[in-house]
């Protein structure tokens, strides 16, 4: 336990009275954080939590990394923000660094302030270049909560939050959910049957400008096999359909590669990034494109704080830290450790364990043989019990039964083992209750 702050109860009371929150909270939430370091956050009462969410997937190098803090302090005394018509030194350097790390198919970067916004600009860019209105997305895909990004987000709950109707120019393609393959295929012998209808589907929509997809879906940690992406990539290239690779959550080392595209050799014409891009400082996102596609871009104007100099300086420090501290390699190694440790529990409620680097989670089932989904009541109780034991997680997945585990890339094996011990205790406790 850390030290509580003097007016902890008053702070929580003020939060309840004055702060509007986007969703209902279970018991014990929201947690009001007073201090954070590395993979651990401390609430106003002094309780420590192991943060398996990385501050909602933004602190890739850990909370309050000194290298990022130092970069911000230096930048604050030089330039804060200028008009989008101009530029700053850290913003230019960050663009150069990102393009050199990204797939060779993207050559220029445009900065905005958040992942949803970066995807909005990607949609605009694809439509401007192709002069076509339709955009395909994947089942279970998530690309943001603003109106345009909602139109390419699969969740009906999120889509309905904006009121109806949403636009009719967007439509869903099958995703690769191998654990629950609709064709009941063994992954080793699968012939990507889930894609069999996609060519006809695209041919019925000749006005399709692009397919937007995360290379690996963060919702549930669904990682398609190589042959799945190879086939979809061939299908869309024959039809001259652009690929928008959404790397908002999957980028910057999260999957054990700098970008998730690198796992598959994908070369998108447009790529987006956000979340951890500024190391948890301010808001920063990127829409990158090929030279050819970028020629058509007209943003109308720029987001007021897009490419903020302080956030850009933090972003540069973030990338340097990822490389110098070998945190991308650590993400790959710790993802393997997470997988082995979770399977070693041999718990009857653990149906599947999916990690690509430190993107993924544990799918809970009532029965491993039938793969019946564990009910929302039990999943909520699992999450709440883990919370009581000092574990911050979220729940995700197509059926809402995946413990979503995306900690800072600096996490150590001992901290993962701490979580696994808490999970063992939790699953036995909830099942026996």
Q: Is residue 24 part of a domain?
A: no
pLDDT tens digits, residue range 162-213? 776 566 789 999 999 999 998 887 878 899 999 999 999 999 999 999 999 9
CA gap 155, 349 in Å, rounded: 25
Find the helix or strand (DSSP H, E) in which 272 lies.
strand 270-273
Mean pLDDT of the chain: 94
Q: Is residue 60 part of a domain?
A: no
- Residue 149's pLDDT band (cuts 50, 70, 90): confident
CA gap 338, 304 in Å, rounded: 41
Q: Is residue 271 part of a domain?
A: yes
Report the Cα–Cα distance between both ends of the chain, in Å, rounded. 28
Structure token digits, residue 74: 């230096």
Contact (CB, 8 A) for 374 and 365 = yes
User: If you average pLDDT over residues 223-240, what whole number do you get?
Assistant: 98
CA gap 431, 24 in Å, rounded: 25
pLDDT tens digits, residue range 384-393? 999 999 999 9
pLDDT of residue 19: 94
41 and 150 part of one domain: no
Q: Is the pLDDT of residue 295 over 70?
A: yes
Structure token digits, residue 365: 């089932």
CA gap 30, 399 in Å, rounded: 24
User: If you average pLDDT over residues 213-234, what whole number do you get?
Assistant: 97
Instruction: Lowest mean pLDDT of 84-98, 162-176, 219-233, 338-352, name the range.
Output: 162-176
111 and 215 part of one domain: yes
Helices 327-344, 309-324: crossing angle, 10 deg rounding? 70
Q: Is the pLDDT of residue 379 over 70?
A: yes
255 and 380 part of one domain: no
Q: Which residue, chain included where needed, has tokens 């699953």?
A: 427
Contact (CB, 8 A) for 171 and 136 = yes
Share of the chain above pLDDT 90, in %: 83
366 and 338 part of one domain: yes
Mode of pairing for the β-strands spanning 134-138 and 108-112: unpaired
- Residue 35's pLDDT band (cuts 50, 70, 90): very high
CA gap 262, 103 in Å, rounded: 7
Q: Which residue, chain included where needed, has tokens 């797939």?
A: 103
Give the other-Cβ count within 10 Å of 204's Cβ.
Answer: 9
Q: Is the pLDDT of residue 2 over 80?
A: no
Give the other-Cβ count within 10 Å of 112's Cβ.
Answer: 25
Radius of gyration of the chain (CA): 22
CA gap 140, 153 in Å, rounded: 8
Q: Is residue 25 part of a domain?
A: no
Q: Which of 324, 359, 382 is the last residue of a domain?
A: 324
152 and 253 part of one domain: yes
Q: Which residue, chain included where needed, has tokens 């339709």?
A: 134
Q: Is the pLDDT of residue 150 over 90?
A: no
34 and 135 part of one domain: no
Q: Which of 298, 324, 350 is the last residue of a domain?
A: 324
pLDDT tens digits, residue range 363-376? 999 999 999 999 99
Q: Which long-range contacts (CB under 8 A, 24 or more apart) does 229-234 make?
A: 229/264, 229/266, 230/264, 231/192, 231/195, 232/173, 232/195, 232/198, 233/264, 233/266
3-state secondary structure of 377: helix
**Taking CA 340 as the corner, what is the angle to CA 339 and CA 346, rounded to the nearest 5 degrees?**
100
> Which residues lie across from 42 on neighbouring strands?
35, 48
CA gap 161, 177 in Å, rounded: 25
Q: Is the pLDDT of residue 222 over 70?
A: yes
Contact (CB, 8 A) for 16 and 32 = no
pLDDT of residue 155: 81
353 and 262 part of one domain: no
CATH number at residue 380: 3.90.1150.10
Q: Is residue 204 part of a domain?
A: yes
Nearest to 126 by CA among 291, 298, 270, 285: 270
344 and 221 part of one domain: no
Helices 413-432, 327-344: crossing angle, 10 deg rounding? 30
Structure token digits, residue 40: 């651990």
pLDDT of residue 353: 98
Q: Which of 301, 324, 347 is the last residue of a domain?
A: 324
CA gap 389, 418 in Å, rounded: 10
The total domain count for the chain is 3
Q: Is residue 77 part of a domain?
A: yes
pLDDT tens digits, residue range 239-292? 999 999 999 999 999 999 999 999 999 999 999 999 999 998 988 999 999 999
This prediction has a pTM of 0.95
Contact (CB, 8 A) for 355 and 218 = no
Q: Is the pLDDT of residue 1 over 70?
A: no
pLDDT of residue 433: 66
Nearest to 349 by CA among 374, 376, 375, 370: 374
Nearest to 71 by CA among 431, 361, 284, 311: 311
Q: Is the pLDDT of residue 296 over 90?
A: no
pLDDT tens digits, residue range 111-135? 999 999 999 999 999 999 999 999 9
Q: Is the pLDDT of residue 14 over 90?
A: yes
Q: Is residue 260 part of a domain?
A: yes
pLDDT of residue 188: 81
Q: Is residue 148 part of a domain?
A: yes
* Buried residues in 345-359 as b, exposed as e (16+ CB within 10 A): bebebbbbbbbbbbb
83 and 225 part of one domain: yes
79 and 43 part of one domain: no
Residue span of the structural domain in which 91 resides:
67-324
CATH number at residue 91: 3.40.640.10
332 and 306 part of one domain: no
CA gap 271, 213 in Å, rounded: 10
263 and 207 part of one domain: yes
């Amino acid at each position: 336990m850390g030290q509580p702050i003097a007016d902890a109860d008053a702070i929580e009371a003020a939060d309840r009275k004055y702060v509007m929150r986007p969703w209902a909270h279970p018991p014990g939430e929201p947690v009001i954080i007073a201090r954070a370091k590395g993979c651990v956050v401390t609430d106003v009462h002094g309780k420590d939590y192991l943060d398996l969410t990385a501050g909602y997937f933004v602190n890739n190098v850990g909370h309050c990394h000194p290298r990022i803090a130092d970069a911000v302090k230096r930048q604050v005394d030089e330039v804060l923000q200028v008009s989008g018509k101009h530029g700053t030194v850290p913003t230019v350097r960050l663009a150069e660094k990102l393009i050199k790390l990204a797939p060779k198919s993207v050559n220029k970067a445009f900065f905005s302030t958040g992942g949803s916004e970066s995807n909005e600009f990607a949609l605009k860019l694809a439509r401007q270049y192709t002069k076509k209105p339709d955009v395909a997305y994947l089942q279970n895909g998530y690309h943001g909560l603003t109106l345009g990004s909602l139109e390419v987000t699969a969740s009906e709950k999120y889509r309905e939050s904006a009121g109806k109707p949403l636009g009719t120019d967007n439509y869903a393609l099958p995703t690769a959910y191998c654990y629950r393959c609709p064709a009941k295929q063994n992954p080793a012998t699968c012939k990507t049957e889930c894609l069999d209808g996609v060519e006809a589907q695209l041919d019925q929509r000749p006005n399709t400008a692009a397919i937007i997809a995360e290379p690996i879906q963060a919702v549930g940690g669904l990682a398609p096999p190589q042959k799945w992406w190879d086939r979809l990539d061939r299908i869309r290239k024959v039809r001259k359909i652009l690929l928008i690779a959404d790397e908002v959550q999957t980028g910057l080392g999260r999957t054990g590669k700098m970008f998730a595209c690198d796992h598959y050799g994908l070369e998108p014409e447009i790529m987006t990034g956000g979340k951890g891009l500024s190391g948890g400082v301010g808001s920063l996102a990127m829409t990158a494109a090929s030279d050819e596609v970028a020629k058509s871009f007209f943003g109308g104007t720029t987001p007021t704080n897009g490419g903020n100099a302080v956030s850009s300086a933090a972003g540069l420090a973030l990338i340097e830290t990822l490389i110098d501290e070998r945190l991308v390699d650590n993400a790959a190694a710790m993802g393997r450790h997470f997988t082995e440790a979770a399977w070693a529990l041999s718990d009857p409620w653990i149906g599947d364990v999916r990690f690509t680097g430190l993107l993924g989670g544990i799918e809970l089932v009532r029965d491993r043989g039938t793969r019946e989904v564990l009910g929302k009541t039990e999943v909520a109780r699992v999450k709440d019990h883990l919370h009581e034991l000092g574990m911050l997680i979220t729940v995700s997945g197509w059926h809402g039964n995946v413990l979503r585990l995306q900690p800072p890339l600096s996490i150590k094996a001992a901290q993962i083992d701490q979580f696994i011990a808490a999970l063992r205790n939790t699953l036995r406790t909830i099942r026996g209750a």
